[in-house]
Amino acid sequence: MPTSDSDTSPSAPVAANTTSQNSSPASTQPSQGKVGDFMKAVQKKLLELYNPTSGQTFAVQFPGRFLQEDLYAWDTDQFSKPVVVNESEFRLVDQLYDVGQVVGAPNGSNLSIIYEEILNNLVPGFESSELERQQDKIRQWLLKDVPAAPWVKDLLKEQHQRAGTSTPDDSNGSFAVANKLTEGGKVNRMELAEALMKEYLRAKSAWELDRDKMIRETKPEDLEDFTRTLADITAVRKAELSAKYADAVVLGHSHTVRQYLGYLDITSPAKMLQDAKDAFRESSASSLDGSMKVFPVQMSPVDWFRGLSTSFSLEDLTSNPDMILIEIDAKSKKIDALQTRLAFLQGTPTANLQELKQKLDAAQSTNAQAEADLSSTYNANVVSIALTCVSPSGDFLMSEFMSAAHLLKITASLYNGIEDAMKKVGDGQVAVVNASRAYTTLLSEVAAAKATDNILEEKELTMQITSLQSDVTELTTHLKFLRFDASGALKTPKDPKSVTTADVPILPPNSASNGSRWQDVTIHHETSNMFSMADQSSSAYSEDSGLSFFFGGSSDSSSNSSADSSSHFKQTDFKMDIGFRATMVTADRSGWFQPQFFQQSAGFYHIDQQVSWSKWPESVNGARDLQNATADVWDALNKYLMPAFPVGYVICKDITIKVSMDSETHDSDSTVFQSHTSSSSGVLLWSTSSSSSSSSAHQKVYTQETSDGFVIRIPGPQIIGYMFEIMPNDLTTQLPETIPS
């Protein structure tokens, strides 16, 4: 199986050059989509990195599937993996797909459920063999009673008495049979061999213990006499041991017994099948919600989740001050809503709140009191915008504030007197930090002083408020960085036309200090297919049309300008440079999943002929034929329960797409281009929207306008491919009516 989880530094980026020659919908020329299909270009490059071996096939996922890092993060120094993390990883690797060169969403089947169904449909073969008859003869010889010499009888009685007086914790093992001697004074060969070998081992252990005791108790001045005594008795004791060993070999046939055990100690397919069922049953645990069984899985590398964080910096993703300002406003309004809910749960604070407020006022400086006055006078969004207009020297820029307020449509009555209030604040950056800390501390103390039945919800609200305030502080700091230079002077807004697409790096710097398991991939692509061939098409990719630049997000309600630009884009050739980082994570399903039975299917019967994992078409002679199988072959295989299962997951992140445009297209359609980027479901094969409730920045798309095009950044991470293990052909036969004798 190919691996990619070593911590060696990646080689030079893998590069590809493709040219799309897709004709426009109005053209009557035959489609040339396969010539420059971006999907096939990505698949080709990934196959160079992760080439499947015999019995495996690789498939690209379209669209890419977002991964939420916090679902899989845990402290790998712990002895065991947290239950919630194992459940998240199991749900990820337990999903099955309709296999082909391109796969979409999971097909709704679960590997664990189908595996259990297949196991319970298998019946071991009943063919009689000569080995079974020979085993029966060997067993009869071993269990045959033979006469025992008088000293052997005494030995057996002594061992029986010793076993009867030993405690369960004693190291002396007891016999499986209470009394090995029959009424006629006979014992079977198996028991005789065991008794004589045990006597030899007991005597050997006693001699070694006596020798060690003599060595420990000998004084240094008596060492010479001890050495002479030890030399005299060692030969005698070894001779006694040799005699006892000879009794075990000659009288007990110990060598013959062990030789025959080799013919008897053979695990049959029936026992192996039962062991697999037992392992599957014993490994299961209930999910946290009780809806399904969860089994242990081991991802490799174990800390695979650590690499899911993006290497893009905040400056790479948010370079537009207006967009940052809108995000600050949205988060500030959410803070107001959460604070209102928290105040409702806590009730109206009285003496306790006043006491805590007095203690807080005594601990804060004059600046902190001024900031508290500012927060109590104006709404949070007004204060947040005002703080972004404070220079590093502490000067409040009213003109900048008025521009921002006008952009957000804030009425003048809401910020009346803001300039005088801001002058009292002083150092703006310290004021923001102190106000946030004071308010959070006050809320925490109020919650601790007045415990109610809603304490859990209050804690959750407090955590959300703290997190949002931290986000606002970070965005405020970044916005001030964009507005002011190191000397504190207001920066001149950067003209997008001053930066060309070629000036933007294709990949961000790698943040790993000790090498990386990620591979850098760069692709040059040219296309005229910027949109799906039909707005109402349920699929944005087909063999005929290739892969469109945008997919999803279009509808009949699109504006005329969008429709016109769509038509215009289809008639324009676009050059693109795409870069991303990729790695493969493998899944080990431990001992509960044992697919070796599928390789031995010819030796099993099936109960229900409709329950089959995979039956190959007659045109397929081996697993290698399926690596490049056509769609009709995979369609035939996907009718069965599990034609293949994923063993490796190719993940990508730090996606950068640089689109070059001619001046006419850039000037006329740049706004429409940005609109489609934000409203579409994805770009090329990567998703740009997620159904997850998480608001992580990893699940967003960011655009940057340049003088000759656009740069699209998708932090990721997303699954873009799977390494599938192809299931062997099902060769089981129908269960006969009678079991062969």
Identify the DSSP state of 396.
Answer: B
Greater model confidence, 75 or 161:
75
Are residues 452 and 361 part of one domain? yes
Q: Packing angle between helix 428-449 and helix 366-377, nearest 10 degrees?
A: 80
Q: Tell whether the model's pLDDT for residue 27 goes beyond 50.
A: no
Q: Which of 476, 493, 510 is the C-terminal boundary of a domain?
A: 493
Q: Tell whether the model's pLDDT for residue 679 goes beyond 90.
A: no
Cα(653)–Cα(519) distance, rounded to whole angstroms?
10
Bin 347: left if φ > 0, else alpha if -120 < ψ < 50, else beta.
Answer: left
Are residues 652 and 679 part of one domain? yes
Cα(650)–Cα(614) distance, rounded to whole angstroms?
25
Cα(302)–Cα(299) distance, rounded to whole angstroms?
5
Q: Where are the alpha helices (DSSP H) in 590-662?
A: 596-599, 623-627, 631-637
Model pTM score: 0.64
State the Cα torsion 537-540-541-546 to the nearest 10°: 100
Are residues 541 and 422 part of one domain? no
Cα(269)–Cα(700) distance, rounded to whole angstroms?
52
Q: Looking at residue 30, what is its pLDDT?
A: 32
267's tokens: 């695990």
43 found inside a domain = yes
Are residues 527 and 453 part of one domain? no
Query: For residue 540, what pLDDT band results from cuts at 50, 70 and 90?
Result: very low
573's tokens: 């050739």
Q: What sign has the CA pseudo-torsion 382, 387, 389, 395?
A: positive
Cα(490)–Cα(484) distance, rounded to whole angstroms?
5
* CB distance 323 to 705 below 8 Å: no
Are residues 168 and 105 part of one domain? no
Q: Where are the alpha helices (DSSP H) in 542-600?
A: 560-570, 596-599
Question: β-strands 102-103, 56-66: how paired?
Answer: parallel
Cα(652)–Cα(518) distance, rounded to whole angstroms?
9
Q: State phi, psi for 472 to the nearest 5 degrees.
A: -65, -40
Q: Tell whether the model's pLDDT for residue 458 goes beyond 90.
A: no
432's tokens: 């923001």
577's tokens: 């440079």
Give the chain's mean pLDDT.
Answer: 75
* 543-561 pLDDT tens trace: 444 556 666 554 333 333 3
Q: Looking at residue 645, what is its pLDDT?
A: 94
Are residues 481 and 420 part of one domain? yes
* 415-454 pLDDT tens trace: 787 777 777 776 544 544 444 455 555 556 555 545 445 6
Q: Which of 72, 243, 171, 17 is nearest to 694 (CA)?
A: 72
Are residues 548 and 461 part of one domain? no
Are residues 507 and 486 part of one domain? no
Locus of tokens 């002679």: 621
144 found inside a domain = no
Domain hosting 299: range is 1-126+268-304+498-741
- The CB density around residue 711, as the number of other CB atoms within 10 Å, is 22
- The CB density around residue 218, as the number of other CB atoms within 10 Å, is 15
Query: For residue 74, what pLDDT band results from cuts at 50, 70 and 90?
Result: confident
Establish how many alpha carbons lie within 13 A of residue 10's alpha carbon, considering only the half-sphere containing its beta carbon. Answer: 18
* CB distance 593 to 119 below 8 Å: no
310 found inside a domain = no
Q: Which helix (H) or strand (E) holds 481?
A: helix 455-483
Q: Which of 686, 699, 722, 717 is nearest to 576 (CA)?
A: 686
Are residues 275 and 189 part of one domain? no
| Total domain count, the chain | 3
Cα(436)–Cα(471) distance, rounded to whole angstroms?
11
Q: Tell whether the model's pLDDT for residue 17 goes beyond 80.
A: no
Query: For residue 73, what pLDDT band results from cuts at 50, 70 and 90?
Result: confident
Q: Which of 470, 493, 516 is the C-terminal boundary of a domain?
A: 493
531's tokens: 């949109």
Query: For residue 572, what pLDDT band results from cuts at 50, 70 and 90?
Result: low
542's tokens: 């087909």
Buried b / exposed e over 369-399, threshold 16 CB at 10 Å, is: ebbbebbeebbbbbbbbbbbbbbeebebbee
Are residues 63 and 38 part of one domain? yes
Q: Which of 448, 476, 493 is the C-terminal boundary of a domain?
A: 493
Please state, in angstroms and as integers, the Cα–Cα distance from residue 3 to each residue in 6, 157, 298, 508, 584, following that order: 8, 61, 15, 24, 7
Are residues 468 and 590 part of one domain? no
- The CB density around residue 741, as the number of other CB atoms within 10 Å, is 5
104 found inside a domain = yes
Q: Looking at residue 366, what is its pLDDT?
A: 59
368 found inside a domain = yes
Are residues 392 and 286 part of one domain? no
Q: Which helix (H) or strand (E) holds 103?
A: strand 102-103
431 found inside a domain = yes
* 634-651 pLDDT tens trace: 888 999 999 999 999 999
Q: Which helix (H) or strand (E) holds 439?
A: helix 428-449
262 found inside a domain = no
669 found inside a domain = yes
Q: Tell whether the model's pLDDT for residue 9 goes beyond 50.
A: no
